[in-house]
Amino acid sequence: MGVFKKKDQPVYARPADASVSQAFKNGNIMTRLSFFIFGLGNIVNKQIVRGLILLALEIGYFAYLFSFGIGALGDFVTLGTVEQGQVYNEALGIYEYTAGDDSMLCLLYGVITLALTAAVIFVACMSGKSAYCTQFRKEKGLAVPSFTDDLKSLKEENLHAFLLAFPIIGILCFTVVPLIFMILIAFTSYDHEHQPPGNLFTWVGLENFQKMFSEGSKLAATFWPVLSWTLIWAVVATVSCYILGLLLALLINRKGTKAKGFWRFMFVLSVAVPQFVTLLSMRTIFNANGPVNVILREIGVIGMTESIPFFTNPLYAKITIICINIWIGVPFTMLSTTGILQNIPAELYEAAKIDGASAPTIFRKITLPYMLFVMTPNLITSFTGNINNFNVIFLLSGGGPDSMDYYYAGKTDLLVTWLYRLTITQKDYNLGAVIGILVFVILATVSLLTYRRTGSYKDEGAFQ
Amino acid in the structure at residue 285: I
What count of other Cβ atoms lies within 10 Å of the Cβ of residue 372?
A: 12
- Residue closer to other proteins by CB (options 384, 412) is 384
> Sign of torsion, CA 361 366 369 374?
negative
Please list every residue from 19 through 38 that binds other proteins, using CB under 8 A: none
Task: Name the residue among 451, 367, 438, 3 with its Cα closest to residue 182.
Answer: 438
Q: Closer to other proteins at the Cβ: 272 or 354?
A: 272
Nearest to 127 by CA among 64, 61, 77: 61
Assess contact for 54 and 150: CB atoms under 8 A. no
- Minimum distance from CB of 112 to other proteins (Å)? 8
- Of 189, 367, 384, 430, the residue at the interface with other proteins (CB under 8 A) is 384
By CB under 8 A, is residue 106 in contact with other proteins?
no
CB closer to other proteins out of 88 and 464? 464
**Please, which of residues 65-104 interact with other proteins by CB under 8 A?**
104
Residue from 20, 37, 65, 108 that binds other proteins (CB under 8 A)? Answer: 108
d(CA 69, CA 118): 13
Taking the complex as a whole, how short is the minimal distance between the CB of residue 189 and other proteins, in angstroms? 16
Cis peptide leading into 401, omega within 30 of 0? yes
Question: What is the smallest separation between the CB atom of 177 and other proteins, expressed in angstroms?
Answer: 7
Q: Are 395 and 280 in contact (CB under 8 A)?
A: yes
Can you give the C-alpha Rg of the chain in angstroms?
A: 31
CA distance 12 to 40: 20
- Cβ-based burial of 388 (10 A; exposed 0-12, middle 13-18, buried ≥19): middle
Nearer to other proteins among residue 28 and residue 378 (C-beta):
378
| Number of shown-chain residues binding other proteins (CB under 8 A) | 97
Binding mask 139-178 for other proteins (x = CB under 8 A): ---------------xxxx-xx-xxx-xxx-xx-xxxxxx
Residue 308 in contact with other proteins, rule: CB under 8 A: no
Restricting to residues 416-455, name those near other proteins by CB under 8 A.
Answer: 416, 419-420, 423-424, 429, 432-433, 436, 439-440, 443-444, 447-448, 451
Residue of 16, 77, 92, 272 interacting with other proteins (CB under 8 A):
272
| Comparison of 6 and 140: residue with beta carbon closer to other proteins | 6
Alpha-carbon gap, residue 132 to 28, rounded angstroms: 8
**How near is the Cβ of 354 to other proteins at its closest, in Å?**
16
Binding mask 318-337 for other proteins (x = CB under 8 A): ---------x---x---x--
Q: Is 301 in the site for other proteins (CB under 8 A)?
A: no
**Interacting positions 180-209 with other proteins (CB under 8 A):** 181-182
Q: Which of residues 335-374 bind other proteins (CB under 8 A)?
A: 335, 339
Burial 134-172 (b: 16+ CB within 10 A, else e): bbbbeeeeeeebeeeebebbeeeeeeeeeeeeeeeeeee
Among 205, 216, 360, 461, binds other proteins (CB under 8 A): 461
Contact with other proteins (CB under 8 A) among 22, 287, 376, 450: 287
DSSP calls for 66-111: IIIIHHHHHHHHHT--PPPEEEEETTTTEEEEEP---HHHHHHHHH
Q: Of the ranges 59-67, 132-140, 314-322, 384-392, which one interacts with other proteins (CB under 8 A)? A: 384-392
Nearer to other proteins, 164 or 235 (CB): 164
By CB under 8 A, tell whether 234 contacts other proteins: no
How far is it, in rounded angstroms, from Cα 197 to Cα 83?
A: 8
